[in-house]
C-alpha cells in the first residue's frame, strides 16, 4: 500500500516508501501495456487465419468423403486406413469442409466454410482428438470463439469480454443455456 503522508515517521522511510510506490506504479503500467500488445498479436493472428482460409485451395489429391468408408472410427479407402485430405461439398457444389487424416483418424487441419465460401471454423486434430487452436467465425467475419484445446480437453480461451466483434446481444442469444422445451416454431 502506498500511503500519501505519514505522521510522526522517519523521513528516510517516507522517501523509500514513496520510491517503492512509484516503482510499483511503473510496473503496473508496463504490465498493462504488455497485456495490450499480446492481445493485439492474437487479434492479428485471427485475422491472418481468416484470410488464409479465404485463399485456401483444395489439394488435387483430396478425395470426396463419400468415396471413403468409416468403420470402427477409422476412415478407410479400399479397406486400408486413409491418409490425406477428405472433403465435402454443399449441394450446389461449393466447398463445405476439408479435413486431414493420418492412419484413418483425424490428424491435422479441419476446415469448414459457409455456403458463400466465407470461413466458418478452423481446428487442429492429433490422433483423432482436438489439439491446438480452435477458431470459429460468424458469417460477417467476426470471431465466435478462439480457444486452445489440449488433446480433446479445454485449455484456454483467447477472447476477452471486450471483444469488439461480439456484441452483447449475440453473446446473450447464442451462448446462454435455454430451456429444453423445443416447442418453438422454426
Q: pLDDT digit string (tens) for 94-133?
A: 999 999 999 999 999 999 999 999 999 998 999 888 888 8
Average pLDDT, the chain: 74
Nearest to 130 by CA among 112, 111, 106, 146: 106
Q: What predicted TM-score, i.e. pTM, was given to this entire model?
A: 0.60
- Give the HSE-up count for residue 9: Cα atoms under 13 Å, Cβ half-sphere: 13
Contact 104, 81 (CB under 8 A): yes
Amino acid at each position: 500500500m502506498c500511503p500519501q503522508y505519514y505522521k510522526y515517521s522517519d523521513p528516510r522511510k517516507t522517501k523509500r516508501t514513496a520510491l517503492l510506490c512509484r516503482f510499483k506504479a511503473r510496473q503496473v503500467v508496463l504490465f498493462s501495456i504488455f497485456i495490450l500488445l499480446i492481445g493485439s498479436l492474437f487479434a492479428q493472428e485471427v485475422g491472418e487465419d481468416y484470410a488464409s482460409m479465404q485463399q485456401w485451395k483444395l489439394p488435387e489429391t483430396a478425395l470426396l468423403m463419400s468415396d471413403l468408408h468409416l468403420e470402427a472410427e477409422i476412415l478407410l479407402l479400399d479397406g486400408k486406413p486413409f491418409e490425406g485430405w477428405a472433403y465435402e461439398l454443399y449441394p450446389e457444389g461449393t466447398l463445405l469442409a476439408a479435413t486431414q487424416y493420418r492412419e484413418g483418424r483425424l490428424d491435422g487441419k479441419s476446415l469448414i466454410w459457409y455456403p458463400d465460401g466465407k470461413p466458418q471454423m478452423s481446428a487442429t486434430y492429433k490422433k483423432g482428438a482436438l489439439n491446438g487452436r480452435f477458431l470459429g467465425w460468424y458469417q460477417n467475419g467476426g470471431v465466435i470463439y478462439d480457444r486452445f484445446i489440449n488433446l480433446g480437453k479445454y485449455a484456454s480461451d483467447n477472447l476477452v469480454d471486450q471483444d469488439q466483434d461480439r456484441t452483447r446481444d449475440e453473446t446473450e442469444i447464442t451462448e446462454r443455456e435455454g430451456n429444453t422445451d423445443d416447442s418453438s416454431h422454426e
